[in-house]
Each structure stands twice: as structure tokens, then as C-alpha cells.
Structure 1
Amino acid sequence: MDVETLRNYCLNKPHVEEDFPFDEDTLVFKIGGKLFALISLKSNSSVNLKCDPEKAIELREAYHAVQPGYHMNKKHWNTVHFNEDLEDKIIFELIDHSFALIVNGLSKKVRTELNLT
């Protein structure tokens, strides 16, 4: 996985915006104003993704590449390292999971405005 592949995958999702809300290094992907993926452009060797807490524990136990979210709420976020013991296909699935969690957490009004209901 590389940053450009991840970026293209995220931006192909409906209504996703990219932003640099923290600094010029941290690229953030949002839906409805809520973050679902963050990546450092300096290191570009991992991505932070939201995750269901139970699934997060399972993933951390199964894969060395999945660690508690760096600088994030460790219960709800994972840092997923690229090019370790996790295939890109699984990283894409984890991006989808993060995106779905955020969409499901949006208000009904926002989901309707974005045609995501």
C-alpha cells in the first residue's frame, strides 16, 4: 500500500473530502465533516482508521501491522502499518469499515443531505 493508492481509494467513496486540518503533513479524509482516515505524508507508512472496539482488539491480536491508534482514542482507532503482515485487500476492507462507522454515526439529516440513507 502507498499513499496515492490509499488516497485514490478514499476519494472514490461518495462525498469524501480531503483536508489538512492539523498541519501540512497530516492528510485527513472526511465524510459529513467527520474523520475516517488520517495519514502522515512524511512517514506515509501507516494510516489511522476508526474501528469497532471489539473488532479492533481482534485485529490487533491477529496482525502485527494493526496497533492501537497513534495519537487517537485507542479504543476506537487503529494505526494500520503498510507492507507488513496485512494484504492491501484487508486494508481496503478496514477503510470501508471506518467509512461505514462514520456514515452510520452521522445524523439522519446529514445522511439524507448526502443521499447516504
Structure 2
Amino acid sequence: MYSKLTAYCLSKKGAVEDYPFGPSPLVMKVGGKMFALITRAEADDEVQISLKCDPVIAANLREQHECVRPGYHLNKKHWNTVAADGSLAVDDLKAMIDHSYELVLASLTKAARESVLLKIGGSR
């Protein structure tokens, strides 16, 4: 699951991987801002992904899914940590990644957002 999440995040326009905290966790950024934080516990190969989320949606997701919890070591109002344990459909997880990416992309300045989109030759 780790490699699938990583590949999906990197498929987003302008997404780059970074390791600002050491060899783990993997941080996915767009325009220099984090939109996903992926961890993998070596002992049991458990994968978790932390994603930015609209506060109302974040609360709803936590109520609906046991694998969705407030962001671990992050602003719990705006971030969720999801255990990628198979209990959540892959399409739902991808939708959460898309939402996080879009929130962060929208938070960039117009110039930064255009720079991200122009570097890769696409437009939204």
C-alpha cells in the first residue's frame, strides 16, 4: 500500500517528495507546502497517511470510519491520519488525497499556483 499511496500522490501535478524529518516519514508537497505525510512501521508494515481536510468533512470522516483519526502530531482540526489497513475503499482514500492536494494548491499564492501548474505544462 505504501508504494501505491506514494505513486498516487506523485501523480498529482507539481507534487514532490521530501524528507524534512529524516528518513521517515515521507512528506508529499506541492508548491513547497505539505499535502500528505506517509509513514510505514517496519515492524508490522502498517501504513498511515495524514491528509489536510476541511474541518467539517474531517469530523464527518472520523465519525464514519474507524480508521480515520485526528491528525497525529498535526493540527487536529485540519488534518486526519488514516490507517491504510484495507478497511477504507481505495477510491475513498484517493478522494481524500485529492481533497488534501486541492486545499493546499488553493492556499498557494496565485503566482506560486501558476508556477506549479506551468512547470509541468498543464492547466487546471
Query: Smaller-chain TM-score range?
Result: over 0.9
Give, as a single letter, the amino acid of the residue that structure 1 aligns with 2:41.
K
Gaps of 5+ in 1: none
1:99 aligns with 2:120: no
Gaps of 5+ in 2: 118-122
* Aligned-partner Cα distance in 1 for 2:106–2:115: 14
- Contact (CA 8 Å) 2:17, 2:27: kept in 1 or not? yes
The CA RMSD over aligned residues, in Å, is 1.3
- Please, which of 55, 67, 70 is the counterpart of residue 57 of structure 2? 55
* Aligned-partner Cα distance in 1 for 2:27–2:51: 10
- Contact (CA 8 Å) 2:30, 2:116: kept in 1 or not? no
Following superposition, the deviation at residue 45 of structure 1 comes to 1.7
- TM-score normalised over the length of structure 2: 0.88
Give, as a single letter, the amino acid of the residue that structure 2 aligns with 1:100.
E
- Matched residue, 2:25: 26
- Contact (CA 8 Å) 2:26, 2:39: kept in 1 or not? yes
Give, as a single letter, the amino acid of the residue that structure 1 aligns with 2:58.
A
Aligned length: 116
Following superposition, the deviation at residue 84 of structure 1 comes to 4.5
Following superposition, the deviation at residue 114 of structure 1 comes to 1.8
Q: Identity of counterpart residues, as a percentage?
A: 43
- Matched residue, 2:34: 35
- TM-score normalised over the length of structure 1: 0.93
- Contact (CA 8 Å) 1:56, 1:77: kept in 2 or not? yes
